[in-house]
């Protein structure tokens, strides 16, 4: 195989949806696995749909995901420019050569002309009229008008577009690495505009020209582009580039959790999860859409989850680092049918990654929240807290919510537990426990537990009669990690002070 070169080619028309990130990811994995190159190309030829800020958003999102490009607007490279609006002059030449070879033509029709044609055809019983080999001859274009008329319209600066001249009744065969052979008859295709009156190419021409000039070997993109592929194949043929045509792989859609239809921003709003990698602030109305990054997901978990939306390794292994994905990803194992988005699974992934993280790394992340609360504590202390709390957390912020008592003594005590477990004999027993704990030199969990058990024996009571009250005194709440570990972490002095405080405050 010649050098693998793939591209991710988003249009800056809005924030990158997770489906787009998955396309970028599969391209990245495929490139890295084949010692190839991945290119970021910005497809901004449709200026009417341009949204300010999207290009930066795309770059920042993919950087957060760990998807880095070998060639791009920022990195440069030998095949630039990588923004299509800066390649404007290049496309004109190819549109011209298609006209010269008779595969494309000028069309001067106004919006009204097009509207009339559609109405006429509908009256004649055609449900979805098209500009094609049948209607073309009744329209204002260089296949129906005389050469002189065409020339005089051009000389008079009349607006025109260039359309592809779709042949009649020809079969176009496309080989797709995921779907196999796809065959489409040109009778079902229209004379698409390839060059617009504003001097810009349309997506189809620009995409094909750039894939060719940038020596793209594989086009890996979403299924929504499959209907455009036959036109692209014809463009390769008409431009004489058939030999250099890339391989195609159209990825299955990411579906709504219920499975009916494509996952949209509305589904996220409706069910309460982000559909964008990072937060997006719409410059048009300042509306903010949540992102995975800001919601507390680690990029590793996000990427692992995304990789599985459409692909699976064929084994039961679910946790994959980026390097493992690079090794094991295969287009052959990408399914044809849509992949249902599963938000619980996304949370599950984050949980797995959080648990696997080293305590001191987690501590650094938790410190950000602590600092914002004006809590200044040593990292080694926070790391111990993380060790206790990470099993029960999905996000770093959960460790703060669950474990506030590590950083301050409780201000109130859970009422239900008080009612059920703070019996009349408790103060006396806790006092006894406190005195024993006060005599421990090396204040460690095992020793604390040992003393605690001796108190149980002496008073002839069970664990369930004393532990909840002891927990209330130290944490104020009914549940949490090992209480003996908590006591060790907060230390002897603090443990004793908290028991005293509870004895005073709980009547």
Q: Which residues bind ligand GLU (CB under 6 A)?
A: 9-11, 43, 203, 207, 221, 225
Q: Give dist(CA 437, CA 498) in Å, integer.
A: 12
User: Minimum Å distance from CB 228 to ligand GLU?
Assistant: 7
Q: Minimum distance from CB of 88 to ligand GLU (Å)?
A: 16
Nearer to ligand GLU, 216 or 322 (CB): 216
Looking at beta carbons only, is 177 or 377 nearer to ligand GLU? 177
Residue 6 β-bridge partners: 38, 218
Residue whose C-alpha is closest to residue 475's, from 419, 420, 411: 411
Q: CB of 269: closest distance to ligand GLU in angstroms? A: 22
Distance between CA atoms of residues 494 and 499, nearest Å: 9
Judged by CB, which is closer to ligand GLU: 39, or 322?
39
Q: Is the peptide bond before 81 cis (omega within 30 degrees of 0)?
A: yes
69 vs 203, which CB is nearer to ligand GLU?
203
Contact partners, residue 335, CB within 8 Å, separation at least 6: 178, 252, 310, 311, 312
Find, among 408, 495, 404, the residue nearest to 447 by Cα: 495
Q: How far is the CB of 174 from ligand GLU (least distance, A)?
A: 13
358 part of the active site: no
DSSP reduced 3-state for 406: helix
The CB-of-83 to ligand GLU minimum distance in angstroms stands at 12
Q: For the packed helices 88-100 and 203-213, what is the interaxial angle rounded to 10 degrees?
A: 100
3-state secondary structure of 328: helix
Catalytic residue, from 265, 357, 444, 492: name it.
265
Map tokens 């489906």 to a residue: 19
Is 442 in a helix, a strand, or coil?
coil
DSSP element (H, E) containing 495: helix 492-505
Contact yes or no for 481/388 (Cβ under 8 A): yes
Cβ proximity to ligand GLU, 9 vs 25, nearer residue? 9
Please identify every residue annotated as catalytic. 265
């Amino acid at each position: 195989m010649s050098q693998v070169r793939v591209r991710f080619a988003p249009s800056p028309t809005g924030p990158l949806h997770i489906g787009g990130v998955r396309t970028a990811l599969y391209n990245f994995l495929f490139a890295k696995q084949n010692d190839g190159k991945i290119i970021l190309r910005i497809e901004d030829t449709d200026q009417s749909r341009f949204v300010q800020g999207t290009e930066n958003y795309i770059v920042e999102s993919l950087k957060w995901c760990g998807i880095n490009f070998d060639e791009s607007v920022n990195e440069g490279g030998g095949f630039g420019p990588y923004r299509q609006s800066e390649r404007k002059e290049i496309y004109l030449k190819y549109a011209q050569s298609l006209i010269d070879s008779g595969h494309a033509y000028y069309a001067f029709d106004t919006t009204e002309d097009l509207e009339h044609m559609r109405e006429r055809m509908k009256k004649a019983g055609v449900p979805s009229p098209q500009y094609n080999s049948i209607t073309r001859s009744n329209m204002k274009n260089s296949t129906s008008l005389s050469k002189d008329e065409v020339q005089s319209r051009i000389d008079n600066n009349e607006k025109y577009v260039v359309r592809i001249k779709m042949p009649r009744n020809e079969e176009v065969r496309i080989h797709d690495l995921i779907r196999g052979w796809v065959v489409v008859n040109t009778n079902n295709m229209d004379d698409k505009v390839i060059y617009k009156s504003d001097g810009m190419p349309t997506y189809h021409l620009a995409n094909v020209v750039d894939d060719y000039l940038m020596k793209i070997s594989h086009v890996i993109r979403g299924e929504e582009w499959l209907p455009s592929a036959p036109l692209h194949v014809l463009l390769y043929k008409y431009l004489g580039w058939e030999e250099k045509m890339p391989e195609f792989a159209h990825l299955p859609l990411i579906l709504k959790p219920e499975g009916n239809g494509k996952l949209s921003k509305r589904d996220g709003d409706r069910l309460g999860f982000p559909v964008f990698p990072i937060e997006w602030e719409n410059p048009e109305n300042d509306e903010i859409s949540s992102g995975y990054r800001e919601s507390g997901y680690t990029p590793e978990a996000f990427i692992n989850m995304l990789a599985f939306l459409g692909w699976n390794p064929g084994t039961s292994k679910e946790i994959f680092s980026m390097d493992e994905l690079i090794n094991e990803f295969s287009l052959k194992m990408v399914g044809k049918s849509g992949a249902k988005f599963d938000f619980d699974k996304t949370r599950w992934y984050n949980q797995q990654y959080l648990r696997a993280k080293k305590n001191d790394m987690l501590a650094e992340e938790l410190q950000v929240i602590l600092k914002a609360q004006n809590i200044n504590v040593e990292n080694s202390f926070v790391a111990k807290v993380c060790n206790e709390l990470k099993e029960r957390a999905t996000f770093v912020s959960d460790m703060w919510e669950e474990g506030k008592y590590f950083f301050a003594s409780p201000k109130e005590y859970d009422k239900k537990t008080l009612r059920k477990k703070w019996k009349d004999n408790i103060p006396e027993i806790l006092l006894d426990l406190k005195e024993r704990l006060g005599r421990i030199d090396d204040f460690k969990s095992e020793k604390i537990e040992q003393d605690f058990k001796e108190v149980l024996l002496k008073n002839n009571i069970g664990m369930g009669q004393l532990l909840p009250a002891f927990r209330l005194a130290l944490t104020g709440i009914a549940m949490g990690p090992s209480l003996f570990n908590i006591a060790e972490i907060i230390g002897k002095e603090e443990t004793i002070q908290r028991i005293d405080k509870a004895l005073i405050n709980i009547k």
